[in-house]
Structure 1
Amino acid sequence: MNTLSKIITWKRNILASVAVLLTLIVLSFYGVYTDQFYFLKPDNYIFPILTSVHFIYLYVVWFKITEDELPDPKMRNIEYVLYAIMIVYVFKIYDSVTVLNSIHTYGEHVIPSSFKPMATLSLVLYSILPILTLYTFWLRKRYIGEYNFENYNDNLNVWH
Structure 2
Amino acid sequence: MNLFFRIFTWKRNNIISLAILFILVVLNFYGLYTNRFYFLKPDNYIFPLLSTIHFLYLYVIWFKITQGEMPDPKMRNLEYALYALLVVYLFKIYDSALILGSFSEYEEHVIPATFKPIGILTLVLYCSLPLFTLISFIHRKRYIGQYNFENYNDNLNIWQ
Q: How many residues get paired? A: 160
Q: Kindly, what percent of the aligned residue pairs are identical?
A: 64
Distance between the aligned counterparts of 1:137 and 1:153, measured in 2?
25
Matches of 2:96 and 2:15, distance apart in 1: 24
Shift of 1:5: 1.0
**Amino acid in the other structure paired with 1:67:** Q
- Note the residue ranges of structure 1 that are not aligned, 5 or more in a row: none
Is 1:107 the equivalent of 2:121?
no
2:55 & 2:158 partners in 1: Cα distance? Answer: 28
The whole-number CA distance in structure 1 between the counterparts of 2:64 and 2:98 is 39
Structure 2 counterpart SS, 1:69:
coil
35-44 or 146-155, which moves further after superposition? 146-155
Gaps of 5+ in 2: none
* C-alpha distance in 2 between matches for 1:64 and 1:154: 20
Deviation of residue 152 (structure 1)? Answer: 2.3
Compute the TM-score of the two structures, normalised by the length of structure 2.
0.96
Q: CA deviation at 1:71?
A: 0.2
Aligned match of 1:90: 90
* Equivalent residue letter for 2:67: E
Give the deviation of 1:121 after TM superposition. Answer: 0.4
Equivalent residue number for residue 131 of structure 2: 131
1:120 equivalent in alignment to 2:158: no
Q: SS at the partner of 1:34?
A: coil
Residue 15 of structure 1 is matched in structure 2 by 15
Distance 2:55 2:39 in 1: 21
TM-score (structure 1 length as normaliser): 0.96
